[in-house]
Structure 1
């Protein structure tokens, strides 16, 4: 059986790439395909230093830095990847990878991190944050996204089985494609984030500074609580905006390596998270360190954090690992921090660690290979049975 694994683009090692890494661990002899591959030589360990077959976008002007700007060409580009020699095609898709062309004698299983966010329910937010609400450029962007939506729905018919990275994304797949999916949570490298019992009197947040992460709201909230210290790890387009809101009690570290991130996650009193994520790996890395999470109660966080409940309900629930707030505002974050501190020792490092262990890479590999094997067996059985008019 020849296997191909298709990923949207290879430029960084982030959440989607961790899933790709484990897919390659499950199927080390698979060939790798991607729209572009700009991974440096020293950063290719997670794809086992495999070469990737790329699309024509790889050779277009300024593609290394501006590959996202070629979004209108991505549907055409992904369809030009020739996968006709493969029996099993596995796609890891948050944009267009699921749109590869396959035939009736090929099984295509797509692990979906999300249908294209900025083309579907987040379109208005994307246009607003990109300053594309008015004018000719706005109408051009809307027309392109309309075309992307039509293409996205059509190509869902070429997928034999969907896997979603959370129940939240499974609902989005059902809404957009009218298809059911199996939920297999992404892998979290809990072994790389050891449990630490000794906590210090500071809070931490870490993420890329882009608008939807809402780091500026976290900084605004803590600047209004000068008696509490916040450490912010990360860089990105919103860094200047975040820095402008930072009070003396807020420390901005900028980009930092995994050693610095791990050290702060282990020592922090709590991790603060204000984004609506499809899944969200950082809150689980914090919990692996035994650190509670104060998070927005939407999206994937509802599946990865056990919330602190009212006293009368707590006895019938798993041990809590965090506190939710339900509005993306500084006031809501402030109220959640106060509730967390009032809870005292109700959230323990041991409970946080135990919850994170549910998402270990070994669990992902076992669930994913079992699913693929079942689908392959059913597919082969269907081929042998045939059909008649």
Structure 2
């Protein structure tokens, strides 16, 4: 079969890009389509030797550095890819990739990282955090999101099969699109995650510093715990705020490559995670390195972290995104830290290995292509 793989944009190597990379490894001869490609040197290995097609957005001024500003054009842009020469199309979608146009003789399978969060249940949070809750710009933003919801709902019926990255996202797909989805958790590269049973006396928080990641909230909570050391890795729009909130017990490292991040995970007393994520790959990576996880108890973390009620717990949860809740969770962890063994953390992370992802993903692809051939 001739295979095309579609991913929204490639401007950094975050969670959804790592999943797209794994899919590309499963189909080494596949051609890649993306609206905008601006991967920095050192993060573009997966592109070498592969046919890459970008959209007209690639050549627009500012698109490579401020791609989200071009969201109004993305539904139109994704529909311009000519995929008529391909037998199998796999879209990796957290915004518009599933909206590619395919025909009745083609199989389209879409791996859904999330329905567009800012267009559906998180619309009002997005508007407030973006300063768009009032005024004429707010009206324009709300109209755009209304248009995106209509387009998103229409294109949800295009793929023959939907795959969700977690049971949490499968529920959101059922709510928004009224469709069932198979669940295949994202892969974690366990072979390159160093394990250690020895833990040091610092907590770790690492993520993009955008509002919904709640990195500033973690820093503010630890600023009220001067006897607890926190190491922070990441960069983004809220970096200035994070630096203002940091106190002497908090070390801000900024962006670091994978080797530094993994070394910190290997040594940290625990990993602190305050976002409501669709899946959240970093808590799994932290557990693979032996670090227990203190996480907000909603979203994908409930599937990846084994709470204290389990025989072999790998972390615990806080129920509110507040400084007080994080402080309480840290103190609860300290009172019972011996229950969260590094060995159990590593064993739990094995459930999300690359091999398991490959097996489950390919089983769905093969079953759908066989089914499609039988009815053609």
TM-score (norm 1): 0.95
Alignment match, 2:335 = 342
The alignment's C-alpha RMSD in Å is 1.1
User: Is the 8 Å Cα contact of residues 24 and 47 (structure 1) preserved in structure 2?
Assistant: no
CA distance in 2, matches of 1:160, 1:50: 26
Q: Residues 157-306 of structure 1 correspond to what in structure 2 (within 5 A)? A: 157-306=157-306
Task: Report the CA distance between 1:59 and its aligned residue.
Answer: 1.3
Residue 82 (structure 1) aligns with: 82
The structural deviation recorded for 1:372 is 0.2
Match of 1:156 in 2: 156
Unaligned runs of at least 5 residues, structure 2:
none
Check whether the contact 2:208–2:235 (CA below 8 A) recurs between aligned residues.
yes
The 5 A counterparts of 1:1-389 are 1-40=1-40, 42-309=42-309, 317-383=310-376
Structure 1 stretches of at least 4 aligned residues deviating more than 3 Å after TM superposition: none
- Post-superposition Cα deviations, 1:62-90, rounded to whole Å, max 9, x if no partner, equal 21112211111101100000001111110
SS in 1 for 2:194: coil
Distance 1:115 1:353 in 2: 30
Distance 1:364 1:146, change over 3 A: same
Q: Rate the CA distance shift 1:73–1:216 in 2: closer, same or farther, 3 A.
A: same
Displacement after TM superposition at 1:40 (Å)? 4.2
How far apart are residue 46 of structure 1 and its match? Answer: 2.7
Q: Secondary structure at the match of 1:65?
A: coil
Q: Within 1, Cα distance between the matches of 2:178 and 2:359? A: 27
**What is the alpha-carbon distance in structure 2 between the residues aligned to residue 211 and residue 199 of structure 1?**
30
Indicate conservation of the 8 Å contact 1:37/1:52, yes or no.
Answer: no
Q: 2:12·2:40 contact (CA, 8 Å) conserved in 1?
A: no
- Distance in 2, matches of 1:89 and 1:364, equals 18
Q: Distance in 2 between matches of 1:235 and 1:107?
A: 39
**Partner Cα separation in structure 2 for residue 108 and residue 69 of structure 1:** 28
CA distance in 2, matches of 1:241, 1:308: 33
CA shift, 1:324, in A, is: 0.4
Q: Distance in 2 between matches of 1:79 and 1:318?
A: 50
Distance across 2 between alignment mates of 1:136 and 1:50: 44
Q: Secondary structure at the match of 2:10?
A: coil
- Contact 2:214–2:274, Cα closer than 8 Å, also in 1: yes
- Please tell me whether Structure 1 or Structure 2 has the larger radius of gyration of its CA atoms: 1
Q: Which TM-score applies when normalising by structure 2?
A: 0.98
Q: Secondary structure at the match of 1:380?
A: helix
Partners of 1:47 and 1:347 lie apart in 2 by 40
Q: How far off its partner does 1:16 sit?
A: 0.7
- Quick check: 257-266 or 84-93, which moved more? 257-266
Q: How many residues are aligned here?
A: 376
Q: Distance in 2 between matches of 1:41 and 1:329?
A: 38
How far the C-alpha of 1:279 sits from its partner, in A, is: 0.4
